[in-house]
Chains A and B, each alone.
Chain A
Amino acid sequence: EDKVVQSPLSLVVHEGDTVTLNCSYEVTNFRSLLWYKQEKKAPTFLFMLTSSGIEKKSGRLSSILDKKELFSILNITATQTGDSAVYLCAVGNSGGSNYKLTFGKGTLLTVNP
């Protein structure tokens, strides 16, 4: 059975701190790993990673994938209260023409002023 495990499940930090969120996976027919930010309802896309060792950056957020060790990390530097959200890791896999995402439970990040 496909599995995605995120850690920690929750995290409380102060503004300005740097955080690292972890995601490990075991899936068949891996195609991509995606990170989403979920504040209220719709998950908002952050990154899609398909190749090992290539860091993706967007402002204060960055992410990298290790396909040998089957994990990814999401880093957020100089955190702000607006970063408070659930961060979801999902792995895309396919069987034939079907492509689906398997999600982890998410990491609840709380950034206090």
Chain B
Amino acid sequence: ETGVTQSPTHLIKTRGQQVTLRCSSQSGHNTVSWYQQALGQGPQFIFQYYREEENGRGNFPPRFSGLQFPNYSSELNVNALELDDSALYLCASSSQSYGYTFGSGTRLTVV
């Protein structure tokens, strides 16, 4: 059973709206990474947070932003939603930079 929990499990938003996805990292893990997985594709790296600071970012526009809290949980915020933002959003936590534990993901549908 995964130690990383994400919420909500799925949601539907309208184009132009904003969304916040949440992730509780596995106990003892201080690094959180977010990935976007479109249908039929592998996960794409969005960004990573380490000790509450952004610690690397993939090729995603600034309307994708995040936060990490002192308890190492994290949020992913997406503004001005577009249809192409529809995807499975995966959160992964790690304590050493050699392995990740993934959460079950949030399925976002933008209509």
Contacts and interface: CB of A to CB of B under 8 A. Distances in A.
Contact of A92 (B50, B98, B104): B98
A50 B56 CA distance: 22
Interface stretch (A12-20, A51-59, A67-75, A95-103): A95-103
Interface in B47-80: 48, 50, 55-56, 58
A97 B35 CA distance: 18
B97 A31 contact: yes
Contacts of A90: 42-43
Contact of B48 (A34, A41, A50, A98): A98
Contacts of B42: 4, 6, 88, 90, 103-106
Interface residues of A, number: 29
Contacts of A45: 99-101
A100 B45 contact: yes
A103 to B, nearest CB: 3
Interface string B85-103: 0001010101001111111
Interface in A81-98: 88, 90, 92, 94-95, 97-98
Contacts of B2: 42
A97 B55 contact: yes
A99 B40 contact: no
B41 A100 contact: no
B58 A100 contact: yes
A112 B92 CA distance: 32
B104 A42 contact: yes
A32 interface: yes
A97 B30 CA distance: 13
B8 to A, nearest CB: 13
A8 interface: no
A41 B98 contact: no
- Nearest 3 interchain pairs by C-beta: A98-B56, A103-B42, A99-B97
Interface of A: 4, 6, 31-32, 34, 36, 40-45, 48, 50, 88, 90, 92, 94-95, 97-106
